[in-house]
Amino acid sequence: MSSRGQVVIPQAVRERCRLNEGDHFVVEEDPERQLVTLRKVKGSGHWFEVYLQCPHPFEVPARRKQLPRRKHELAG
């Protein structure tokens, strides 16, 4: 690992796994076993697919207050 935290993936592994420059990864860790796993995900342009591949659950926090709704001109 470099001083900047960069890790080199050997060319043979990149070819077998079809990894290319610009690919995005999720980093999964298991500190007890000193294990780090890189899981390739689709680019950030496909945010919903990346979200579905996330290994950790994500809950949307409740709104603190309801925003006022504007009445439509034709509403009675």
Which of the residues in the chain have pLDDT under 70? 43-47, 50, 58, 67, 72-76
pTM: predicted TM-score of the whole model, two decimal places? 0.49
Distance CA 49, CA 41 (A): 8
Domain count, the chain: 1
- Name every residue whose Cβ is closer than 8 Å to that of residue 2 and which is 6 or more positions away in sequence: none
pLDDT at position 75, please?
A: 61
Classified as helix, coil or strand, 13 is helix
> What DSSP state is assigned to residue 15?
H
Asked if the structure places residue 49 within a domain, the reply is yes
Q: Quote the domain boundaries for residue 47.
A: 11-53
Asked if the structure places residue 20 within a domain, the reply is yes
- Name every residue whose Cβ is closer than 8 Å to that of residue 27 and which is 6 or more positions away in sequence: 36, 37, 38, 39
Asked if the structure places residue 26 within a domain, the reply is yes
